[in-house]
């Protein structure tokens, strides 16, 4: 039971972390995130050269951001998939113990139901925590 609850916690946490990461990426990719001029660029007197450098700089920054976001999402999705598989394996192990028991007293169905209910509550608790984090993130963005 302890192992199953830990795996459920890990599964739900990775799912919510992915959701939170996507929220942050959506914000930072928003068009209102303006390009800030650097002092070096502003010191270039030739307007055409300055504009060309700014365009190249924007493209490089945008590509680096895109690559970073994609890598972050890919890593988070891999962690979520791994955590989900680990949880599913623990659930299967629990049912296997129940089905392979000769008299079903080792792990009765009522105990399985209680364990499943505990796991559901763990999931709801973690979802609430991350919904709160997302709301705080959004409120902070509105203040800025």
Residue 33 pLDDT: 47
The model's pTM is: 0.73
- The CA-based diameter of the chain, rounded to the nearest angstrom, is 87
Nearest to 120 by CA among 12, 13, 1, 2: 12
Q: Mind listing the pLDDT tens digit for each residue in 77-126?
A: 999 999 999 999 999 999 888 888 777 667 788 988 999 999 999 999 99
Cα separation of 34 and 37, whole Å? 9
Instruction: Give tens-digit pLDDT for 21-41.
Output: 999 888 877 654 445 556 666
Model confidence at 16, pLDDT cuts 50, 70, 90, reads very high
Rounded CA separation 111/78 (Å) = 32
Neighbour tally for 122: CB within 10 Å: 20
């Amino acid at each position: 039971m302890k192992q199953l609850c830990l795996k459920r916690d890990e599964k739900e946490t990775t799912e919510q972390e992915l959701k939170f990461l996507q929220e942050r990426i959506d914000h930072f990719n928003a068009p209102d995130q303006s390009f800030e001029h650097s002092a070096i660029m502003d010191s270039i007197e030739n307007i055409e050269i300055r504009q060309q450098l700014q365009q190249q700089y924007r493209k490089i920054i945008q590509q680096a951001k895109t690559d970073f976001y994609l890598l972050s999402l890919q890593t988070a999705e891999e962690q979520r998939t791994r955590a989900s598989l680990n949880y599913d394996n623990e659930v299967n192990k629990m049912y296997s113990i129940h089905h392979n028991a000769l008299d079903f007293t080792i792990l009765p169905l009522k105990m399985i139901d209680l364990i499943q209910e505990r796991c559901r509550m763990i999931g709801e608790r973690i979802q609430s925590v991350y919904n709160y984090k997302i709301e705080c993130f959004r409120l902070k963005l509105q203040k800025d």
